[in-house]
Amino acid sequence: ILNVEQSPQSLHVQEGDSTNFTCSFPSSNFYALHWYRWETAKSPEALFVMTLNGDEKKKGRISATLNTKEGYSYLYIKGSQPEDSATYLCALYGTASKLTFGTGTRLQVTL
Amino acid sequence: GAVVSQHPSRVICKSGTSVKIECRSLDFQATTMFWYRQFPKQSLMLMATSNEGSKATYEQGVEKDKFLINHASLTLSTLTVTSAHPEDSSFYICSATTSRSYEQYFGPGTRLTVT
């Protein structure tokens, strides 16, 4: 059974601030780690899929890293904007061909 | 591309009635669809996995006679909550994938309230 923990549970930053949150997992017995961005009333949107220790991915102002040896992934947002407000989900794709989700980090960016 | 729709987005029903939720892949063929449930302040929990043309595989603790899943075509899966009770009130969300990828594409979810 895969365990996925995300922290913080919620985060409130001002426009322009850079921020980061954590996805941690005690076991590295998985194929891939996914980050999703989920806005209210919309479908979760895939941000990144990472598979290898040391992977770094970037999309615009958002980037992510993966450290399977120490059991964590970071998601970074540079220069937060109000449109970044969403819940960010981390999920592991494991050997049972299923996604196991964390509870998410809820980000609120205000002007 | 890779759009998944879900209908309805919100439903309120009386205790004892059944509710059907549809999940459609709009621009691709989904060999596998997944159904998740989310209770307040909890993570998305996988309920079942369905492959087109075969019976769904349910996760431990999920009653298959209560949550009927049908995946009759490569673009449609349905979840029927039978004899719904207030404790079934939850957010239900589906996802779909193709045989060539483990990337899952999600629908926007359905909020079910049983009164």
Rounded average pLDDT over A14-31: 93
* Three-state SS at B54: coil
| pLDDT in the model for residue B25 | 94
When pLDDT is cut at 50, 70 and 90, the band that residue B86 belongs to is: very high
Please give the residue of chain A at the shortest CA–CA distance from B43. A103
On the question of pLDDT at B103 being above 90, the answer is no
Rounded average pLDDT over A47-57: 93
Rounded average pLDDT over A10-15: 97
Identify which has the larger pLDDT, B101 or A91. A91
Rounded average pLDDT over A7-30: 94
* Three-state SS at A83: helix
On the question of pLDDT at A40 being above 90, the answer is no
| pLDDT in the model for residue A4 | 93
| pLDDT in the model for residue B98 | 83
Which parts of chain B fold into alpha helices (H)?
none
Identify which has the larger pLDDT, A31 or A75. A75
B-chain residues near A92 (CB < 8 A): none
Count Cβ neighbours within 10 Å for each residue of A11-48 and write b for 16 or more, e otherwise.
bebeeeeebebebbbeeeebebbbbbbbeeeebbebbb
**Partner B contacted by A1 (CB < 8 A):** no
| pLDDT in the model for residue A9 | 95
Give residue-wise pLDDT tens across range A54-110. Answer: 899 999 999 999 999 999 999 999 999 999 999 999 999 987 888 999 999 999 999
Share of chain B above pLDDT 70, in %: 96
Which candidate, A83, A103, A81, places its Cα nearest to that of A23? A103
B-chain residues near A99 (CB < 8 A): 34, 44, 46, 95, 104
| pLDDT in the model for residue B108 | 95
* Three-state SS at B34: strand
Give residue-wise pLDDT tens across range B28-84. Answer: 998 899 999 998 888 999 999 998 888 899 999 999 999 999 988 899 999 999 999
For chain A, strand residue ranges (E) read 5-7, 10-14, 19-24, 30-38, 45-50, 56-59, 62-67, 72-77, 86-94, 99-101, 105-110
- Cross-chain residue pair B43–A32, CB shorter than 8 Å: no
Which candidate, B60, B99, B69, places its Cα nearest to that of A1? B60
d(CA A89, CA B75): 26
Strand partners, A22: A7, A74
Q: Which helix or strand (DSSP H or E) is residue B95 part of? A: strand B90-97
- Cross-chain residue pair B102–A101, CB shorter than 8 Å: no
On the question of pLDDT at A13 being above 80, the answer is yes
- A106 close to A9: Cβ distance less than 8 angstroms: yes
Strand partners, B20: B80
